[in-house]
Structure 1
Amino acid sequence: MCAIAGSGLNTEQLLKKAEELMGNYRDSEALAMYEEVLLAAPDNYTALCKASFLNCRIGERITDEGTKIAFYTKAKQYATRAYELKPADAEANYAMAMALGATAMVSGPKQRLENINQMKSFLDAALAANNKHAGAWHLLGRWYFKMANLNFAEAAASKMFFGGVCGEATNEEAATALQTAIKYNPHNIQYYYDLATIYKEMKITEACTKTLEQAIALDVTTRDELELARRCKIMLQQSKK
């Protein structure tokens, strides 16, 4: 395998290094490596999926809306290319669902609902391909929670444009999906925080408290994880009042 110009590394070496960087939450460096792979091999499936995911993860932290939209747009482009290569694969469908969900958060009301509505089919396909995909279960839980708690205007628009898709979503389904995500990846504090938020909405105090205690007990190191741990502690204090 030929070395990629400028790096001295071949594709497999770059992918391995990028994976290590991603695992250590050095997202910008990892994304740069995946994009270096894509410059030489535009149809590298692994790099497309990972680059899409990283654009979403980096974009979520950015406060400037224009920059955030740019990251999410690239995430959607990479996900679409990956999906065109392997439309039945779990990772491509997960990437599409994540990119749609991210884009929804910076879109107008109609586009937001359209993107959220489209997410469901990609999540179903991802889980059909890999029923143990923790990330897909997590996004599905978020999807159920969002659709179960639409405001009046959103619910009316959903019924008008999509036939009332919110009718099949409940907080109970959201909680079950998040529980499944935790089952397959018990080390992700985001899953616990989101599940506790659902329990809080459902007023199930004991389950909320237990979930928050489990979250706080996790070994966390990154800035994002530490911030979630802080939020969990605050929510736990509030639940005990």
Structure 2
Amino acid sequence: MVLSYGVNKLHFSTYRSWLERPLGKSSVALLGFSLFSMLSKKETEERVEDIISRADILYNDYMIDALYDYLNERLAISRNAEILWRLARVVYEKAKSLTATDDQQRMYATAMEYLKEALESGVESSAVHKWYAILLNSCSETAGQEAQLKAALKVREHLDKALELNPNDATTWHILGVWYFTFADLPWYKRRLAKLLYPSLPVTTYQDALECFEKAESISPEFYSQNLLMIGTVFLRLNRPDLAKRYFTKAMHMVVVTADDRKTFLEAEKQLKNLN
């Protein structure tokens, strides 16, 4: 930019004579270093973009093991927040395929470290906050009730921040719906205990959850079989079996790719049998 600005301001003959002046050793070294720095920075930026693009292709094809290896190798190139949250996401996916709780929790903890690093970078990213909320919830699954409640408040903070940064993310709306549903579905005595321990916990209803799930569908129709299942489940709680049946049927007809998809299919099938 400076060089271009200079060319516009200098008379051509003056500019030509300036170019023809011999450079000293220090000037040559400085120029070489400057050009190298500029090229290196551009090359790194292009690499980061390429890494993100390649990672998203692998994730969309659900090539989890290949994606995990690919992103781990690329950390040596950049620890960019966009790479870190994608690595946390694939570690989470790998953890879900494990059967031993201790092994799962170790992988969740690893994913959380990547997300903490991404948060500490100061980058304002909706995806970082969304995945931080997801992993925080997963990490608290084996904790006691009080610790889970404390984590739930932090989960809500990060979901709110994720939606502030990107209000059109269907997955975040789905997770917020699950958050509302979980509290609405607690027995009355557990809700009362939760309110005593944490008075700031909001009162939640099935309607709150339904609105979030429906918002997710309005943004991206049938993007996730679990969202359809949850809508059906809420309608069942609201004593609307006709609508519940409709959404359980939709969930069953979704393509099964992931372990979550398989669980959703089986649960929807079970609910339909009960309704019939």
Would the TM-score normalized by the shorter structure come out above 0.5? yes
Tell me whether 1:97 sits opposite 2:133 in the alignment: yes
Tell me whether 1:128 sits opposite 2:128 in the alignment: no
Q: Rate the CA distance shift 1:60–1:154 in 2: closer, same or farther, 3 A.
A: farther
What's the counterpart of residue 6 of structure 1? none
Moved over 4 A (4+): none
Task: Give CA-to-partner distance per residue, 1:162-220, whole Å, 9 cap, x none.
Answer: 2151x421111011111112222323111111222222223221221111122223333
What's the counterpart of residue 203 of structure 1? 239
Distance 1:2 1:50 in 2: 26
Identity, in percent, stands at: 19
Letter in 2 for 1:95: W
Structure 2's unaligned 5+ residue stretches are: 1-37, 41-46
What's the counterpart of residue 182 of structure 1? 217
Task: Give CA-to-partner distance per residue, 1:89-116, whole Å, 9 cap, x none.
Answer: 2111101111111112122222211111
Structure 1 position 45, deviation (Å): 1.4
Residues 103 and 112 in structure 1, CA contact (< 8 A), matched pair in contact too:
no
Structure 1's unaligned 5+ residue stretches are: 4-9
Distance 2:95 2:240 in 1: 33
Structure of higher CA gyration radius: 2
Question: Mean alpha-carbon deviation: is it higher for 15-24 or for 79-88?
Answer: 79-88
What's the counterpart of residue 56 of structure 1? 92
SS in 2 for 1:40: coil
Aligned residue-pair number: 233
Match of 1:30 among 56, 67, 70: 67
RMSD: 2.4
Structure 1 position 64, deviation (Å): 0.4
Tell me whether 1:84 sits opposite 2:120 in the alignment: yes
Structure 1 position 66, deviation (Å): 1.0
Structure 1 position 2, deviation (Å): 9.9
TM-score normalised over the length of structure 2: 0.76
Match of 2:76 among 4, 28, 39: 39
Residues 81 and 123 in structure 2, CA contact (< 8 A), matched pair in contact too:
no
Question: Mean alpha-carbon deviation: is it higher for 85-94 or for 135-144?
Answer: 85-94
Letter in 2 for 1:174: A
